[in-house]
A and B are shown apart, each in its own frame.
Chain A
Amino acid sequence: MEQRDGNRYRNMFRSLVTRMILVSMVPLAGIGGANFLLFYQLNRSVVLEQHANFLRYHKESVESFLNSLVSEMISWTHQYSLEELKSGTLEKLYRINQGRGGLLEDLGVIDSRGDHVRYVGPYDLAKKNYRETEWFSRVVEDGLYVSDMFLGFRGVPHFIIAVKRPEGEDFWILRATVNTDYFVRVLDTARLGTTGETFIVNQRGLYQIPPRSGGTPLDFSGFPDLGPHEGITVKELKVEDRTFLCSSVWIPRPQWLLVFRQETSDVYAPLWKASFVGLLLFLAGGLGAAIFSVAAARDQVRRIHRADLEKESLTQRLLVAGRTAAVGEMSAGLAHEINNPLATIDTLQTWIRDLASASPIPEEDRQEILESAAKIGQQVARCKVITQGLLKFSRRVEAAQEAVDLRELLEEMAVISRARARVENIVLEQNLGELPPVWGSPAHLQQVFANLINNAMDASAGRPHAKVIIKAWAEGGQVLVSLEDNGCGIPQENLSRIFTPFFTTKPVGKGTGLGLAICHGLVQNMGGEIRVESMAGRGSRFTVVLPAFKRGSEAPGDQNRSQEGHPQGTG
């Protein structure tokens, strides 16, 4: 019992703690989650805005750089004639370029036949004919051509700008090779976080300017989706085991894709940092909630435990009171049943004295004295049956459960009940078959049947041909005991309330309204039930159904009791 109670309170404690922690942590987790999402979006939009700014800035730099080169070369073709360029001006221009940082690797003039008529630069390109090259036909057609990157003889990436100068029907071309120093320098300034970097690929996905972190010019970049698009596009890209957030924009001439990329782990570093702090706070909150919950639950369970103890002691007192009441009611008839033999004994002893006062005593008187003494003995035996019945009844106070032979118990009770029945002019019949034992407390069983028998007698006392029948039989693993009376019966509207504590129809001072409530609790406690059939004015039948006890099996009442807690309190 104690262990079961312990488990009960432990479970109560656990469920209280769990509920309190859930109640405090679920909203906290919700707020945390919502914050995470908000922060994620904020983080992403801030990063993307930064990316866009970088891209816009670099696009402009690259474009203006290219434009300034192109426009400078166009202005040269207009400023100087072919003859001037062939005779020393080209060298002069190349020297100026060298003075400005040597962006131009070389400079050359090509005539309409494709012959390299003049060349300044480190390579041996003079006298070369370009008529069959692609760029030549492009510049003849468009008047201006900016190439993709290519590796020259030294393996250094560069590109060319070629400007056509029409002159009447004829034309000539000014061509320059541009190195990538400027781009590399400019793009290198665009850094963000630890992994943010810029690079350029051409339409075929070849690196024009590779990223700072690695890559060789003109190697395939693997950058997908190189179709033309307006403005800035953003995508996430997985390269090997790293994921990048990539923003890209097209530079229209020479159709280069400017890409800014940053590893997502880097992009979301602030988010992870904030999440980590948030998680720490959440865990701290959880710990706080857990400590609080445990303290609160322990306090609560202690209170409940105290209340249960109080309730239990009240229930115990109630049981004792109910028992006292039942014994009192039963013993009302007992005095009468003992007083009658006592009166007989008294007259017999007077008669013996009368006869014995003569001296000498005649033989027939002596015989009568002996007979009278024997009669006294019979009367004493009669009293003894009653007092012993009462003794058995009142001695049973232990609530401990055991296998009980109901037949024996009911027979004992019938002895004392018969006394009252005689006094009240009630015929008490008993019909007890062979019964298997039941598992329960003898004291409690006695109390149950005492109450039911008393009720049956109360209901039928004073009515003509009053009769109470105690019947007991076994049926399908159950033991049934019915108490039937032909008394006043219970009106239909009261039937549902008879097991309610303090419900009584007896006059004030006669009934407590607890008898049936206590019976109900006690029987339920033993895993049984009480059935009631009644008809107002005709009588009632109360049937107590108890599970038969099989030896070796678990006590049937125990299981039920653990669910009920303290069933005495239920009825």
Chain B
Amino acid sequence: MELVSVLIVDDEKEFASSLSKVLARRGFQVETALSGQEALELLGRRSFQVALLDVKMPGQDGLALLKIFQERAPAMAVILMTGHISPEEELSGKAVGAFAYLLKPHPIPQLVELIQKAAKAAGPSCKKGHGS
């Protein structure tokens, strides 16, 4: 079975790198981006089945990025991550199209499950944009 490809977008460097290692060890193919710009560059080169996207980031925030992802990689399932106390309030109406959102910190086993579900929903990784 092909490895599930995951893109982690988070300005928290330590979080992104440790999560990427933990997920890689659990059989995911992971790339990290510390900003929206980096993420878009990566997405220009290849595609991912699942994106873990931090909502609060300096510059381009997660919600703005979500819209761009939906345009450029409509097949990619996006899971929003937020440290906000009440994500419902923060995301109300703005997270349309996201596969799910989760509250930081989130237990790793459940996160893995969620990513797998998301990958199934997204289907095999789309080759669109690959090599463009």
Q: Which residue of B lies closest to A334 (CB)?
A: B85
From residue B123, how far is it (CB to closest CB) to chain A in Å? 27
B128 to chain A, nearest CB (A): 30
Contact residue among B14, B56, B84 (Cβ-Cβ distance under 8 Å from A344): B14
Q: Is the CB of B56 within 8 A of A354?
A: no
Q: Flag the segment in A113-121, A228-236, A310-318, A345-353 that touches B.
A: A345-353
> How many Å lie between the Cα of A335 and that of B56 in the bound state?
13
Indicate if B108 sits at the interface (CB-CB under 8 A).
Answer: yes
Please tell me if A112 contacts chain B, counting CB pairs below 8 Å. Answer: no
Chain B residues touching A, range: 20 to 34
> How many whole Å from A350's CB to the nearest CB in chain B?
4
**A342 vs chain B, min Cβ distance (A):** 4
**Nearest CB in chain A: distance from B13 CB, A:** 9
Knowing A344-B14, A375-B14, the reply to whether A423 touches B104 (Cβ < 8 A) is: no
Please tell me if the beta carbons of A340 and B12 are within 8 angstroms of each other in the complex: yes
* B84: A residues at CB distance < 8 A: 335-336, 339, 423
Taken together as a complex, chains A and B put the C-alpha atoms of A348 and B21 apart, in Å, by 9
The secondary-structure label for the interface of chain A is helix
Residue A422 CB within 8 A of the other chain:
yes
Report A-chain residues with C-beta under 8 Å of the C-beta of B106: 343, 346
Q: Does residue B19 face the partner (Cβ distance < 8 Å to A)?
A: yes
Known: A372-B18, A375-B14. A340 touches B104 (CB 8 A): yes
How far, in angstroms, from A206 to B103 measured CA to CA in the complex? 130
B18 near A354 with CB under 8 A, answer no
Q: A345 to B56, alpha carbons, bound, how many Å?
A: 18
Tell me whether A348 and B18 are in contact (CB under 8 A). yes
Q: B105 interface residue, CB < 8 Å from A?
A: yes
Contact with A along B98-109 (1 / 0, CB 8 A): 000001111110
The answer on a CB contact under 8 Å between B15 and A343 is yes
Q: Hey, which chain B residues are within 8 Å of A148, CB to CB? A: none
Task: Note all chain B residues with C-beta closer than 8 A to A354.
Answer: 22, 25
* Across the A-B interface, the 4 shortest Cβ-Cβ residue pairs: A339-B83, A343-B104, A343-B105, A336-B83
Residues of A within 8 A of B (CB): 332, 335-340, 342-348, 350-351, 354, 372, 375, 378-379, 422-423, 425
Can you report 26 residue pairs joining A to B where beta carbons are below 8 Å apart? A336-B82, A336-B83, A336-B84, A340-B83, A340-B104, A343-B12, A343-B15, A343-B83, A344-B14, A344-B15, A344-B18, A345-B105, A346-B107, A347-B18, A348-B14, A350-B22, A350-B108, A351-B21, A351-B22, A351-B25, A354-B22, A375-B18, A378-B14, A379-B14, A422-B56, A423-B56
